[in-house]
Structure 1
Amino acid sequence: MTQETPSSEARRPDRAALAIAAGIAIVAAIIAYSTATAVGGSATRIGPAVFPYAIAGGLFILAIWTAFEAMRGDFPEREEQRIQPVVWIVGGLVAQMLLLHITGFAIATGLLFAATARGFGKGPLWMTVPIGIVLSFIIWVIFAKGLELSLPAGPLERLI
């Protein structure tokens, strides 16, 4: 009598990993095509186009590697996806995009910080919203005043 072990079972290809490999290959092709059709160029051998081509090549190698591993079925079992954290994070991004020019950088990004923290299961909103706003305000001061970069200013930023 022989017992079959999990390693001796025929493993099926991982369709999700194959889809990820296809997505990576598509991104690599888009980068290579975009770089090839860009207007302008350089007369030197190593110019600004070398790095996008290197990134596209690296992504293409990762796509092949991912497809190979997917065909072997070597990916570990994935946890079941929970939708609530994703909704919190995407909702925070949408709120930031909608509020950025109305409330300014600090408040909009502070709300994004709080929603992301909530998505990761950290802290109540009454605590993470002010923490996010203070941290975002510090970042705004560094970028807007220290580096003289233009970030959207709202009522909080106009106090300075």
Structure 2
Amino acid sequence: MTHPVSTQDERRPDRAALLIGVALGILGALVLLDAQSVRGGAYARIGPATFPTVIGAFLVILSVWTMISAWRGRFPEREPSDTAPVVWIVAGLALQLLLLHPAGFSIATGILFALTARAFGKRKLWISLPAGILFSLAIWLLFTQVLRLALPAGPLEQLFT
């Protein structure tokens, strides 16, 4: 006995996955376009443009695969997302970008650390902020003193130079 196909089993195209597929395709096309402008290594079969070309082609293939799967509705149902953690992390990144040069690496990255910790559920900013600044200062000291790399220095870092 055959059972009629239920419309309940059929899923509509996943618009979010389609959008991700389009974005992957655009990114892949941009990588391929940029790989065309890479010069050098004409004497070798594998030159500086080889890997960007492979990555761009892979992104385009992944894009097509994602869009086909999205159109057929083969992606699993997603849980509802909570936007508050994303807002905390984006705010931390924005503040780090704004404060990196005026406040220095340690303070700006410590703020990013504290707001990211807040996004992951640590509500005590009065603990995570100083901890983040101390961790960031240790990283700044490692990079600038041991590895001799240049990172933005603010008033806190000036105490150590």
> Scaled by the length of structure 1, what TM-score is found?
0.89
Call closer, same or farther: CA 1:2–1:157 in 2, change over 3 Å.
same
Task: Name the SS for the 1:157 alignment partner.
Answer: helix
* Structure 1 residues 101-140: aligned runs within 5 Å: 101-140=101-140
Aligned residues: 159
Call closer, same or farther: CA 1:143–1:7 in 2, change over 3 Å.
farther
- The residue identity in structure 2 corresponding to 1:42 is G
Aligned to 2:40: 41
CA distance in 2: counterparts of 1:6 and 1:74, whole angstroms: 16
Call closer, same or farther: CA 1:57–1:126 in 2, change over 3 Å.
same
- The residue identity in structure 1 corresponding to 2:40 is G
CA distance in 2: counterparts of 1:62 and 1:141, whole angstroms: 41
* Structure 1 residues 21-36: aligned runs within 5 Å: 21-36=21-36
Q: Percent identity?
A: 52
* Structure 1 residues 139-158: aligned runs within 5 Å: 139-158=139-158
The alpha carbon displacement at 1:5 in A equals 8.8
Farther off after superposition, 84-93 or 17-26: 84-93
Call closer, same or farther: CA 1:51–1:5 in 2, change over 3 Å.
same
Call closer, same or farther: CA 1:2–1:114 in 2, change over 3 Å.
farther
CA distance in 2: counterparts of 1:20 and 1:102, whole angstroms: 36
Aligned to 1:72: 72
The alpha carbon displacement at 1:113 in A equals 0.7
**Contiguous gaps of at least 5 residues in structure 1:** none
The alpha carbon displacement at 1:4 in A equals 7.5
The alpha carbon displacement at 1:41 in A equals 2.4
- The residue identity in structure 2 corresponding to 1:54 is V
Q: Runs of 4+ in structure 1 displaced over 4 angstroms?
A: 1-8
The alpha carbon displacement at 1:123 in A equals 4.0
Call closer, same or farther: CA 1:149–1:12 in 2, change over 3 Å.
same
Q: Deviations for 1:33-60, whole angstroms, at most 9, x for unmatched residues?
A: 011124x322222111111112112212
The alpha carbon displacement at 1:75 in A equals 1.3
> How big is the alpha-carbon RMSD for the aligned residues of Structure 1 and Structure 2?
2.2
CA distance in 1: counterparts of 2:46 and 2:134, whole angstroms: 44
**Contiguous gaps of at least 5 residues in structure 2:** none
CA distance in 2: counterparts of 1:65 and 1:116, whole angstroms: 33
The answer to whether 1:85 aligns with 2:60 is no
> Scaled by the length of structure 2, what TM-score is found?
0.89
- The residue identity in structure 1 corresponding to 2:41 is S
Q: Deviations for 1:49-78, whole angstroms, at most 9, x for unmatched residues?
A: 111112112212221221122122121222
